[in-house]
Amino acid sequence: MDTQVITSPSGKAMKELLIQHKEALNFLHPGDIIEGRVLAKSSKRLFLDLDYFKPGIVYKSEMFEDPDEVRQMKIGDTISGMVVEPENDEGYVELSLREANRERTWQDLNKLKDSGEVVPLKILEANRGGLVVKMRGVMGFVPVSQLSPNNYPRVEDGDKDRILQALKMFIGQAMDLKIIDLDQNDQKLILSERMANSHELDQILSKYTIGDVVHGTITGVVDFGAFVKFDDQMEGLVHISEIDWQIVDDPKKYLKIGDKVDAKIIDIKNGRVSLSLKALKNNPWENIGQKYHKGDVITGEVNKINPFGAFVTVDDVQGLCHVTQFGSQEEMRAKLIPGNSYTFKIVLLEPREYRMALELLDGKAEAEEKKSANAPADALAETEPAAPVKKRSTKSVKSKAEKATPEESAE
**Domains defined along the chain, listed by start:** 5-21+31-104 (2.40.50.140), 116-198 (2.40.50.140), 207-280 (2.40.50.140), 288-375 (2.40.50.140)
User: How far from chain centre, in Å, is Cα 405?
Assistant: 104
Contacts of 101 (CB under 8 A, 6+ apart): 64, 65, 80, 137
pLDDT of res. 349: 94
* Four-CA torsion 15, 20, 23, 26, nearest 10 degrees: -50
Query: In the chain, what percentage of residues exceed pLDDT 90?
Result: 33
Q: What is the pLDDT of residues 236-245, one digit of tens each?
A: 999 999 999 8
Identify the band that residue 25 occupies on the pLDDT scale cut at 50, 70 and 90. Answer: low
* Four-CA torsion 153, 155, 159, 160, nearest 10 degrees: -10
pLDDT greater than 90 at residue 191: yes
pLDDT of res. 142: 94
CB distance 129 to 144 below 8 Å: yes
What pairing do the DSSP bridges indicate for beta strands 355-360 and 341-350?
A: antiparallel
As a whole number, the mean pLDDT across the chain is 80
Q: What is the pLDDT of residues 284-329, one digit of tens each?
A: 998 898 899 999 999 999 988 989 999 999 988 989 999 998 989 9
For range 349-371, the mean pLDDT:
75
pLDDT of res. 16: 53
| C-alpha distances in Å from residue 380, one per residue of 365, 374, 376, 377 | 18, 11, 7, 5
Residue 141 DSSP SS3: strand
Q: Distance between CA 67 and CA 43 in Å, rounded?
A: 10
